[in-house]
Structure 1
Amino acid sequence: MGARDTIRTAVRHVVPPAGLTRALAVQAMVFAVGNGLFQAGSAVFFTRALGLSAAQVGLGLSVAAGVSLLGTVPLGGLTDRYGPQRVWVAGLLLDAALFATYPFVGGFVGFLAVVVALALVGTATGTARQVYSINALPAAERVTAMAYQRSLLNVGFGFGSVISGLVLAVDTMAAYRGMVWFIAAVFLVTAVFVRRLPRLPEVTRPVEPMSRFAVLRDRPFMTVSLLSGLLTAHQTLYLTVLPLWIITHTDAPKILIAGLVLFNTILIVLLQVRASRGADTAPGAARASRRGALLIALFCVVVPVSGATRGTLTVVVLVAAATLLIVAELVESAGTWGLSATLPPAAQRGAYVGALGLGTQVQFLIAPAGLTALGVTTGGWGWYPAAAIFTLVGLALVPAVARAERTPRLGDAVPPTPERVTPVP
């Protein structure tokens, strides 16, 4: 294969094919510009522009995360009741309105109200966006379309981070106010974009619809949710635990941390679509998640070696460990999308997709403290019990998915099967 063919292949795995898949990926990129801008600049905005202390910011974000956890399942039910596109658009409009109010927030109480509202809206919007993608695309294209969305999402995050750097360099109140108003405008543009996507036909719902918390009684599915959610700890490992390990237990230069974040973004943009192959069925998604779990476990075995090396060898070990974790993220993400596209029943998809995210929310509550304690505060030996935990989770996931697939979902007479919903022109 010549250089030209190689470039064409690489482009084909980054640029989505024309049609709905491309439209969904482009909206993801536009949305991520605003989201990435705020993620990169939020800490400084909260302390400099709003005058909050670091403790107040941390407390407010923790409260918002807890409220979001409680709202995951009932907010997912809104998508089933009102339709994913309607909830998606309404959520983006609320996001825009809330960001527009940020410069007028006075004190901790106002800040808390806005971040809690944003967390709840984000939970509802995230579920609606995913359900729309599932409902609008044929079964064979769903996971690939989500992979394209994630690839361009990272491109958008990159643009947002660059803009954030400019805002932080200017470092004036006017710049910070302009930043959040720009983000509000991005969400308004995204809402218009989503409003113009194809309308979907109504999904036939049961005569007696489930209560919003009934999905929690589906034990096989909730087992999958918990196990799959625990594997999203690769995010915590890469962005929190690994940097802490580098700073406290290795002689690697601190700039390596920023380099590894950039490395992560580049590989996701280039490889996410390829890594999603084979995850468009429940068994394939389970196997992808298992591979992700075993790669996370291997990362946990390799990374402590960097605590005993010096100089260039330390950097080599850390880059190798980071590569394992990035590949784990690529295949685990594809596995999660496959599970969300195949296991939930069409009539209750919002509630079930929301419930699938419950495991991820649990991970965000326990993983930062738990994995930091194991990997960093133990001096290194705690990485090995962590590896064992991820190995067990990965091995348990495949039979758990098989059991969930055999078990009828609540409100269904038979186990769910993939279907295609044709958009209405």
Structure 2
Amino acid sequence: MAEARRYGVLQAWFQEILPAAGNARRLGVLTLIQSLGLGVFLTSSAVFFTRTIGIPAQRVGLALSVAGLCGLVCTVPIGRLADRLGAGRVLTVNFLLAAVGFTAYCLVDGFAAFLAVACAIAVLETSAGALQASLTDALVGEGERVRVSAQMRSLFNLGFLGGAALAGAAIAAGTSTALYATVLANAALQLVSVAVLLGMRLSAGPGPRAAAAADAPGGVLRSAALRDVRYVAVALVCGALELYHPLLTVGLPLWIVTGTDAPALLVSGLLILDTVLVLLFQVTVSRGAGTPVGAARMLRWAGWA
């Protein structure tokens, strides 16, 4: 009986995170593919950068910081390009270039080359998140947007979990070949993402919100948010809270690999544990965020946490 109850709970959870058939499910497949590649790469990158390529940990941190700044600066211009051409088209090119970028990591033989590749990939990865959000906005109805976004996040973590496990196997193998394979696997998954996008038969035009912003006189909608001081303040606070992400995926792995006697496999174990916790509770915690008041309340709790 206990086994049947556990099966029922698991089945209910799976049904909860599975998007409805159609565009939402196709977006879910895309999210799974992308997160699988990201999980493989991020989990193994600290070992790959420091032990396989041979870049000192301090220089890795410096390069990734510069790369993050490049990603921040380029997000808005790429977003405006998506407003004109459509998020689907720009995202397709993004994934193609990402496949080239991750393959280029296998050719890096010094800090300058590492910095150049890291900056290019940071621009592509940072903009990809915004482009996928814009694509979701264009393909999913407004009434389902919060739920679908939560489902995408759960599917993202499910894929990341699988990627972290695969990376753990590569780290356990302890060979350069296995670590190069993780990077090339991520490059291949970018091409699979391109195939999924092309299969959606996306329209060339921008989504409804982007089109409205483009048609507004004098870019009224585009600049309205920047004139709202409270909105900008919240955005800056949220940006500061997002520092947990590089600390978890870059800082902690680098410290484990270069500053402790712990086995490198611990990186994979910690990221898997973190992902499992998020995977189990993401959709449940997102309930109540469908209104501005509910979303603000949850944001406050997240900030305190």
Does the TM-score normalized on the shorter chain lie above 0.5?
yes
Instruction: Confirm whether residue 60 of structure 1 aligns to residue 63 of structure 2.
Output: yes
Residues 150 and 174 (structure 1 numbering): CA distance in 2 closer, same or farther, change over 3 Å? same
Deviations 1:298-330 (A, max 9, x none): xxxxxxxxxxxxxxxxxxxxxxxxxxxxxxxxx
Give SS of 1:104's match.
coil
Please name the residue that 1:400 is paired with: none
Please name the residue that 1:219 is paired with: 229
Question: Rg larger in 1 or in 2?
Answer: 1
Count how many residue pairs are aligned between Structure 1 and Structure 2.
Answer: 284
Cα distance between partner residues in 1 of 2:188 and 2:202? 24
Residues 35 and 234 (structure 1 numbering): CA distance in 2 closer, same or farther, change over 3 Å? closer
Please name the residue that 2:256 is paired with: none
CA shift at 1:241, angstroms?
A: 9.8
Please name the residue that 2:257 is paired with: none
Question: Equivalent residues in 2 for 1:103-182 (5 A)?
Answer: 103-182=106-185
Q: Among residues 42, 48, 51, which one is paired with 2:54 in the alignment?
A: 51
Cα distance between partner residues in 2 of 1:241 and 1:39? 11
Instruction: Confirm whether residue 185 of structure 1 aligns to residue 198 of structure 2.
Output: no
Deviations 1:162-193 (A, max 9, x none): 22122223333333332222211011001111
CA shift at 1:67, angstroms?
A: 1.9
- Misfit runs of 4+, over 6 Å: 236-243, 255-260
Cα distance between partner residues in 1 of 2:90 and 2:266? 41
CA shift at 1:229, angstroms?
A: 2.8
Deviations 1:342-401 (A, max 9, x none): xxxxxxxxxxxxxxxxxxxxxxxxxxxxxxxxxxxxxxxxxxxxxxxxxxxxxxxxxxxx
CA shift at 1:110, angstroms?
A: 0.6
Residues 234 and 54 (structure 1 numbering): CA distance in 2 closer, same or farther, change over 3 Å? closer
Please name the residue that 1:420 is paired with: none
Cα distance between partner residues in 1 of 2:197 and 2:69? 28
Q: Among residues 269, 280, 288, which one is paired with 1:278 in the alignment?
A: 288
Cα distance between partner residues in 2 of 1:199 and 1:132? 9
CA shift at 1:161, angstroms?
A: 1.4
Cα distance between partner residues in 2 of 1:260 and 1:17? 32
Question: What is the aligned-residue RMSD (CA, Å)?
Answer: 3.1
Cα distance between partner residues in 2 of 1:45 and 1:274? 36
Please name the residue that 1:74 is paired with: 77
Residues 277 and 57 (structure 1 numbering): CA distance in 2 closer, same or farther, change over 3 Å? same
TM-score, structure 2 length as denominator?
0.81
For residue 228 of structure 1, what is the amino acid of its counterpart? C
Please name the residue that 1:267 is paired with: 277
Give SS of 2:17's match.
coil
Give yes or no for contact 2:95–2:190 (8 Å, CA) kept in 1.
Answer: yes
Cα distance between partner residues in 2 of 1:97 and 1:114? 10
CA shift at 1:237, angstroms?
A: 7.8
Provide structure 1 residue ranges, at least 5 long, that are not aligned to the other structure: 244-254, 297-425
**What percentage of residue pairs aligned between the two structures are identical?**
36
Residues 55 and 99 (structure 1 numbering): CA distance in 2 closer, same or farther, change over 3 Å? same
Cα distance between partner residues in 2 of 1:11 and 1:53? 42
Please name the residue that 1:86 is paired with: 89
Residues 242 and 58 (structure 1 numbering): CA distance in 2 closer, same or farther, change over 3 Å? closer
Cα distance between partner residues in 1 of 2:196 and 2:156? 15
Higher helix share: 2
CA shift at 1:58, angstroms?
A: 1.4
By relative contact order (CA 8 Å, sep 6+), the higher-ranking structure is 2
